[in-house]
Amino acid sequence: MKCMRNGGAREGTGRRGTALVFSLVAVSTVVVLAASFTQYASLVSSRQAQAVDRKRAFYIAEAGLAEAYSGLTCGKSGVVGTPETPALFGEGVFWTTTTELAPDLIQLDCTGIVGSGRAKLSLVARRGSETVFTLGMFGDDAVAIPAGSRIDAYDSSKGSYASQQDKSGAALGSNAAIQVSGTTLLPTVIVGDVTPGPGLSVAVTGTVNISGSQQPAHGPTVLPPVSAPQTSLAPAKIHDSPYPLVIPAGESGYQSLTIKGGSQLVIQGPATVVLGSLSVENKADVTFDTANGPIELYVSGAFDLASGSMVATSGTEPSDVLIQVPGSPQKPAALRATGSLYGLVFAPQGQVVLGPALNVFGAVVADVLAFDGAVHMHFDKHLAALSADERMPRQLAWRIVDMGSIGEASADPFDVLGLDKTALLPPAKSHADQVLVIDYYDYSNVYHTYDGPESEFDWTVVKDVIEATRDGAQVFLPRNTPKTGVMKSPGTLPVVDGPMV
């Protein structure tokens, strides 16, 4: 019985064991599949997390570039953070370095790190430049406005001069004294500001109406030199024909060009024309055809639009015609022609003489300004808006930089770089410190001056900036109304600020 029971028990155990084996095989198979799937899912998840981190690092680097670029727009160096003390941005960090490629070209490189993601982006920008044409009518030397003159302003972006009622906003300035004359029969009208050099005043004789301020300049205005583009010049030419001489679009030039009476010169834009000298004789015509683009004319020697000659521009946009006089020619650029010149004239080291029969719409800036008679100058206020655009840096190139490897691919950039997260500053406070020299008005309209590290200056006390430089470079601040003319002196001594922060 025992044996039978035992034997029966053994058989029963054997059957139960078979079921167990089947169950174990089934469970093991499912477990292996589940484990394999889990491992694969984990691998995929990890790869996707890395892809997400790469994207986050990319966007952090973009944010860093944007911060540096916005710094450039207001005269900062473009350096934001360093590898040792990067700027803290979200859960990641970035730092931006700069490389000067040329006097007006700067390269910004930004490295962003977050989680296991790293990205480096590079941007090359051309620095903005200040144009002198917001000065309106300006002479480095003393300026004497004759009787019967009219100097006013209009906005070429709002229509023609004749169609505009508001003629205010003209700017007449000098680094030296300014004298304005008028008579009862020939009164002089200046609808705007007259700004003599620092510490000087405006001498008015006779019937003169100046609607704006006559405060002197805050400081001297430096006129940048002009250099003509390098281009091969054709031999000297004298044009004496009933058929017009057409200088077509593109770059061209003559060693000298003379337009005889009864002949016509047409310059077609877009063109850059370099002339050793230009003489447009009595009864000759010169036309600037800007229908297809702007014209830049450089005249390095004698420049004479003789009395009795005619000048005309096909368009009415002054910024389309730029006449520049490089160097310091012995003879003045004499614009004694009759007609309307919509254009900008710049002779930083030369003399410009304006005749009474010429109406200038735009701006004239020269070392010496002289007049043969009453001057008719209509400053284009739109030049200020154009100048504000030109002050902004312009992006030339943007690219992703291959980073290679940056040490250990840790999930925490603070570990990799050995950083204390709590000690890092946000991007706005991570710009490299610079020497700030600033003249400004506070909210009580008190004139202040400060010269020291920008980190010790409190910008919140500034209501209006008169003038500022960072590391010696002019600071251009975005303004709702772009300024024209020469910066005025506050007329009082400033309060000298010490460290504020």
Q: Does 443 bind other proteins (CB under 8 A)?
A: no
342, HSE (Cβ side, Cα atoms, 13 Å)? 23
- Least separation in angstroms between residue 297's CB and other proteins is 23
> What secondary structure does DSSP assign to 114-175, as a single string?
ETTEEEEEEEEEEPP---GGGG-EEESS-EEEPTT-EEEEE-GGGS-STT-S----EEEEES
- Least separation in angstroms between residue 68's CB and other proteins is 15
| Per-residue contact string for residues 141-160; x = within reach of other proteins by CB under 8 A | --------------------
Q: Does 14 bind other proteins (CB under 8 A)?
A: no
Q: Does 436 bind other proteins (CB under 8 A)?
A: no
Q: Does 18 bind other proteins (CB under 8 A)?
A: yes
Longest dimension (CA), the chain: 152
Residue range at the interface with other proteins (CB under 8 A); choices 215-223, 298-306, 347-355, 393-401: 393-401
- Alpha-carbon distance values, 85 to 238, 422, 424, 431 (Å): 67, 11, 7, 11
466, 439 Cβ separation under 8 angstroms:
yes
Neighbours of 430 (CB within 10 A): 24
Residues 44-63 that bind other proteins (CB under 8 A): 44, 47-48, 51, 54-55
Nearer of residues 22 and 443 to other proteins, judged by Cβ: 22
Nearer of residues 101 and 234 to other proteins, judged by Cβ: 101
Determine which residue in the list 66, 105, 142, 177 makes contact with other proteins, applying CB under 8 A.
105
Residues 70-89 that bind other proteins (CB under 8 A): none
Pairing of strands 87-89, 92-102: antiparallel
Q: Does 4 bind other proteins (CB under 8 A)?
A: yes
Nearer of residues 398 and 459 to other proteins, judged by Cβ: 398
Q: Does 8 bind other proteins (CB under 8 A)?
A: yes
- Least separation in angstroms between residue 397's CB and other proteins is 4
126, 104 Cβ separation under 8 angstroms:
yes
Residue range at the interface with other proteins (CB under 8 A); choices 7-15, 141-149, 435-443, 466-474: 7-15
Q: Tokens 């079921």 correspond to what residue?
A: 19
Q: Does 403 bind other proteins (CB under 8 A)?
A: no
- Alpha-carbon distance values, 414 to 88, 113, 116 (Å): 10, 9, 11
Pairing of strands 295-299, 170-174: unpaired
Cα separation, 81 vs 235, in Å, equals 57
Q: Does 283 bind other proteins (CB under 8 A)?
A: no
Residue 96 burial by Cβ neighbours in a 10 Å radius (0-12, 13-18, 19+): buried
Q: Does 22 bind other proteins (CB under 8 A)?
A: yes
Determine which residue in the list 21, 222, 397, 403 makes contact with other proteins, applying CB under 8 A.
397
Binding site for other proteins (CB under 8 A): 4, 7-8, 15, 18-19, 22-23, 25-26, 29-30, 33-34, 36-37, 40-41, 44, 47-48, 51, 54-55, 101-102, 105, 107, 122, 124, 126, 395-400
